[in-house]
Amino acid sequence: RRKPFPNDFLWGGSTSAYQVEGAWNEDGKGPSVIDMAKYPEGTTDFKVASDHYHRYKEDIALFAEMGFKAYRFSIAWTRIYPNGDGEVNRKGIEFYDQLINEIRKHGIEPIVTIYHFDLPYALQEKGGWSNRATIDAYENYCKTLFEHFGDRVKYWLTINEQNMMILHGEAIGTVDPNLKNPKKELYQQNHHMFVAQAKAMALCHQMLPDAKIGPAPNIVTIYPASSKPEDVLAANNYAAIRNWLYLDMAVYGRYNNIAWAYLEEKGYTPTILEGDMEILQNAKPDFIAFNYYTSQTVAASEGNEEDVNQTGDQHITVGEPGVYKGASNPHLKKNEFGWEIDPVGFRTTLREIYDRYHLPLIVTENGLGAIDQLEEGDVINDTYRIEFLRNHIEQMQLAISDGVEVFGFCPWSAIDLVSTHQGISKRYGFIYVNRDEFDLKDLRRIRKQSFYWYKQVISSNGAN
C-alpha cells in the first residue's frame, strides 16, 4: 500500500551560489577558496557560471512555472563579508534581499544553505577551518543572515556536505594536501565545523523562534561487498565514519563511538577545548536535510596502501588501509560519469536515517549528471534524467509508506550549473543554459523535457 505525499510537501529544486551565480567579483564580492582553486584541465571556472546573478528573475519565473513549492540555494559568504568577517557589504545584502523577495513573490519557500563549500579566501589565508577564529567568523556571518533575512526565510541549512569536505578535503581546497598529516588536520577542521554548526543552530533558535535549521550532509547506504563478516564489519566502519559521525554530532552532540575509535587508532583525534562538548550538546536541529546521488559498497582492507584507490561514491576514491576499501556493486548500473545508480538504496537511506534520529527529513540534492544534446528547435530530450528521478521519487514514496517522515524533495539542480569538478558539460538541470565549457554563447534558458515532466509531478503531488 502506497501512502500519498503529504499535501504540503515541498517539491522544489536546488542550486549553490558559486555554481550558478557567476559575477564572481562584482558588487564588492570577495574571492572564495573556489575562486582561487585550480580547475581540472578542459573544464570552465566559476566566474560566469549560469549568470544567475543577473538573470535570477527569469530563472525564478521558470521555477514558478514548474510549480516549485521550495527553492534551495546558498548565500555566498563572500558577498556578505568579502573578507569573511569585518565590514558587511551592503550590495551583497541587497542582492539576496531582492532574490528572496522574488522567490517569495512567486509563493515559493526559500531554503537557504548558509555555507556551501565557498569559504572566504581571506579566512583560508589565516588557516581556514584549522583556525578557531573561523568559528567566530561563521557565527557572526550567521547572525547577519538571521538579522537581515530571518523575517522571510524559515528553513536554514548550516553547512553543505561537511562530510564530503572532510573525506575529500583536497578536492574542495580547504586543506593543504602537502601537510605531513592532512587527515589529522581535516578532523581538526571537522571539529571546528561541528562547533560552528552547533553555534548556528543555537543562535537561530534564539533569534528566530519560528525558523527551522538543520545540517545537510551527504548520506548514503553502505553495502558490504559480500556476506563475509569482515566485509560487513568494513561496511559498518565506513557507515560510522562517512555518515553517522556527522549526524550523531548534529543530533546528539556526541562523537559516534565507532568513528571515534577509528580516529584514535589512526591518530586523527582532534583537540577539543573545554566548553566545546557543552556547546555541541546544547544545540539541536529541527530536521535533517541530506543529499543522495548513489550508494557505496565497501570490502575489508588487509592494509595495502593501494586500497585507497578504489571505486568511490560520486567517483571520488574511497578507502583507508586496514579499515575499508571501495568496491563496485555488480547489481547496479552506472551513469556516464561512473556513478552507480541506486534508487532502492535511496529508500534504504531514508529508512536508516529516520530510524536512527526520528526527525523530519528533507532531500536537498538528488539527480543525474549527464551530457545533454540540444536538438533542432530547442529540444532537449533528457528521458534518462526523467527515468532517474522517477525511480527515486517512487522509492521515496515507498519510504514514506514505510513510515518515514519526509517533508520535501529538492533535486539537483533546478537549472544547469557548473559541476563541482566536471565543468558545465555535466548537466543536472530541468532548464538548459546555452553555453559551452569555454564559449558563453547567449546563455539563454531552454526548458528540457524533464521540465515539463517535473511540472506534472508537482501539480499531481507526486504522480509520475
Out of 21, 139, 161, 416, which residue is the one contacting ligand BGP (CB under 6 A)?
161
> How far, in Å, CA of 40 to CA of 34, rounded?
12
- Site for ligand BGP contains 412 (CB under 6 A): yes
Beta strands in 303-358 (DSSP E): 319-320, 324-327
Question: What's the grid cell of residue 222?
Answer: 553502505
Out of 115, 419, 432, 433, which residue is the one contacting ligand BGP (CB under 6 A)?
419
For ligand BGP, the closer of residues 438 and 452 by Cβ is 438
273: Cα separation from own chain's centroid:
28
**Nearest distance from C-beta of residue 113 to ligand BGP, angstroms:** 9
User: Which residues are the active-site residues?
Assistant: 161, 365
For ligand BGP, the closer of residues 148 and 427 by Cβ is 427
For ligand BGP, the closer of residues 326 and 369 by Cβ is 369
| Closest CA relative to residue 368, chosen from 354, 379, 384 | 384
| Closest CA relative to residue 243, chosen from 262, 222, 229 | 222
Q: Check if the beta carbon of residue 187 is closer than 8 Å to that of residue 166.
A: yes
Beta strands in 354-415 (DSSP E): 361-365, 406-409
For ligand BGP, the closer of residues 17 and 283 by Cβ is 17
Supply the DSSP symbol for 123.
H
- Site for ligand BGP contains 426 (CB under 6 A): yes
> How far, in Å, CA of 464 to CA of 460, rounded?
8
Cβ count within 10 A of residue 344: 16
Give strand pairing partners of 14.
Answer: 72, 412
- Site for ligand BGP contains 319 (CB under 6 A): no
**Nearest distance from C-beta of residue 172 to ligand BGP, angstroms:** 10
- Site for ligand BGP contains 422 (CB under 6 A): yes
| Closest CA relative to residue 366, chosen from 9, 61, 13, 3 | 13
For ligand BGP, the closer of residues 76 and 208 by Cβ is 76
**Nearest distance from C-beta of residue 161 to ligand BGP, angstroms:** 5
Contact region with ligand BGP (CB under 6 A), list: 31-39, 235-243, 414-422, 440-448: 414-422
Out of 144, 163, 218, 237, which residue is the one contacting ligand BGP (CB under 6 A)?
218
DSSP one-letter string for 130-192: GSTHHHHHHHHHHHHHHHHHTTT--EEEEEETHHHHHHTHHHHTSS-TTSSSHHHHHHHHHHH
- Site for ligand BGP contains 455 (CB under 6 A): no
**Pairing status of strand 361-365 against strand 406-409:** parallel
For ligand BGP, the closer of residues 17 and 458 by Cβ is 17
Q: Check if the beta carbon of residue 76 is closer than 8 Å to that of residue 52.
A: no
For CA atoms 420, 421, 425, 428, the dihedral sign is: negative
Contact region with ligand BGP (CB under 6 A), list: 37-45, 130-138, 370-378, 418-426: 418-426
- Binders of ligand BGP: how many residues, by CB under 6 A? 15
Q: Check if the beta carbon of residue 184 is closer than 8 Å to that of residue 267.
A: yes
- Site for ligand BGP contains 421 (CB under 6 A): yes
DSSP one-letter string for 439-454: --TT--EEE-HHHHHH
- Site for ligand BGP contains 43 (CB under 6 A): no
Out of 44, 197, 221, 291, which residue is the one contacting ligand BGP (CB under 6 A)?
291
Out of 190, 348, 420, 450, which residue is the one contacting ligand BGP (CB under 6 A)?
420
For ligand BGP, the closer of residues 296 and 419 by Cβ is 419
Out of 92, 169, 369, 408, which residue is the one contacting ligand BGP (CB under 6 A)?
369
| Closest CA relative to residue 222, chosen from 130, 298, 121 | 298
Per-residue HEC secondary structure of 5-42 comes to: CCCCCEEEEECCHHHHCCCCCCCCCCCEHHHHCCCCCC
**Nearest distance from C-beta of residue 155 to ligand BGP, angstroms:** 17
- Site for ligand BGP contains 390 (CB under 6 A): no
For ligand BGP, the closer of residues 93 and 418 by Cβ is 418
Strands in 70-74's sheet, in edge-to-edge order, are 212-216, 155-160, 109-115, 70-74, 10-14, 406-409, 361-365, 288-291
- Site for ligand BGP contains 21 (CB under 6 A): no
- Site for ligand BGP contains 164 (CB under 6 A): yes
- Site for ligand BGP contains 342 (CB under 6 A): no
Contact region with ligand BGP (CB under 6 A), list: 55-63, 238-246, 297-305, 415-423: 415-423
- Site for ligand BGP contains 295 (CB under 6 A): no
- Site for ligand BGP contains 16 (CB under 6 A): yes
**Nearest distance from C-beta of residue 452 to ligand BGP, angstroms:** 23
Q: Check if the beta carbon of residue 427 is closer than 8 Å to that of residue 412.
A: no
For ligand BGP, the closer of residues 335 and 461 by Cβ is 335
The HSE-up count of residue 457 (CA atoms within 13 Å, CB side) is: 29
**Nearest distance from C-beta of residue 274 to ligand BGP, angstroms:** 34
**Nearest distance from C-beta of residue 36 to ligand BGP, angstroms:** 17
Footprint of ligand BGP (CB under 6 A): 16, 19, 160-161, 164, 218, 291, 365, 369, 412, 419-422, 426
